[in-house]
Amino acid sequence: VEPLDYLSMMGLVQKSLFVITDSGGLQKEAYFAGKRAIVVMPDTGWRELTDAGWNILSKADEIKDKMGCIINNEIDSKTKNIYGDGNSGKKIAGLIKAF
């Protein structure tokens, strides 16, 4: 597949079961799209996603096994609101208003 623009790529992510990537950005975008990611890298800048069990680090020769783990839901994921609940603006405004 030729390189895709952002909207086309996110359209594919939305329709996917999960994502396999070596992209730092796509692993986080997959989370926001509600898709698990197998990250083919020795480490990631998004440790909170791997620590929560949402994304899985993998070596190239382990991808097939990791796919099975996601498909069979063998890896527990604790992902509730990793990046907040979307209400930070209201909370900040409430704090400012209280002064």
Does residue 4 register a pLDDT over 70? yes
- pLDDT tens per residue, range 26-70: 999 999 999 999 999 999 999 999 988 899 999 999 999 999 988
**CATH classification of 6-98, choosing from 3.20.20.70, 1.10.10.60, 3.40.50.2000, 1.10.10.10?**
3.40.50.2000
54 backbone dihedrals φ, ψ, rounded to 5°? -75, -50
Report the distance separating Cα 27 and Cα 12, nearest Å: 14
The mean pLDDT of 64-82, rounded to a whole number, is: 82
Q: Is the pTM of this model over 0.85?
A: no
Amino acid at 48: E
